Amino acid sequence: MDLLVFGQSGQVAQELARLAPQARFLARAEADLSDPEACAAAIRASGCAAVLNAAAHTAVDRAESEPELAHRINAEAPAAMARACAALGLPFLSISTDYVFDGSGARPWAETDPTGPLGVYGASKLAGERGIASAGGQWAVLRTSWVFSAHGANFVRTMLRLGRERDELRVVADQHGGPTPAESIARACLTMLEAMRADPAKGGLYHFAGTPDTTWADFARAIMAGAGLGCRIIDIPTSDYPTPARRPANSRLDCAAILRDFGISRPDWQAGLAKVLQELTA
């Protein structure tokens, strides 16, 4: 598949480069997402067969102080990409987030549930989803959560660094979700795009997250145990760890639809963690 990928240095993009080295990856210098029309022009000039947006403004807290930039990158740019793909008859897939929900309750969120983002990041991603859906072409949005890998800034790498420096860490224990290996997200995206190319009726909004659901504190314990670190994890409530942007307490995602429509199962994050830890210590 002649695939064009927006993003090069992010976690999912780096895993895509391993799985689909023949794809073309656009870094910021080639397609700046703060310039939506430049992104559309890159698609028109590419001659590709499918487009995947794996780039975003993911600095959740910083987005609170730069809402206009977050909106251009997370909302306007994906919408412009989707319109360009629609005009060319190309399937388009973009990665979104559990932050489009308000985090209430304890039931896993389904694609049909009402959204209610708590901050700028979630609101900008939701606006992007809506722009994509209204573009008129063949599209898919993949919402995911708690992404981790051996690359970039993520919870696993942060915990490993702090766990080597400290005897104990205080970690939030009242936020629930499914950690998701970036490699699994990359594989899911490729599977979806292949199916979309084969069947123009395929597409829509889907959830994809690792299993079993857990808390940040228990995820941290698994990281320490897997890395052989003696750092003790102390449970704290979210109120003890204030941040500029509010985090959803319930990020559980119902992933039945992607299994039904694409045959993609939830990945075992514990197996994914073991693989990432092995890579980081190799």
20-51 pLDDT, tens digit per residue, is: 999 999 988 888 999 999 999 999 999 999 99
The C-alpha atoms of residue 198 and residue 173 are separated, in whole angstroms, by 43
**What are the sequence ranges of the domains in the chain?**
3-153+179-211+252-266
Of the chain, the percentage scoring pLDDT greater than 70 comes to 100
Give the pLDDT mean for 177-187.
Answer: 98
65-80 pLDDT, tens digit per residue, is: 999 999 999 999 999 9
Class of domain 3-153+179-211+252-266: alpha beta
pLDDT for 192: 98
Strand, helix or coil at 26?
strand
Catalytic residues: 121
Is residue 85 scored above 90 in pLDDT?
Answer: yes
Residue owning tokens 């590419």: 46
pLDDT for 31: 87
pLDDT for 29: 84
Is residue 1 scored above 80 in pLDDT?
Answer: no
| Partners of residue 257 on adjacent β-strands | none
Q: What is the number of other CB atoms lying within 10 angstroms of the CB of residue 168?
A: 12
196-209 pLDDT, tens digit per residue, is: 999 999 999 999 99
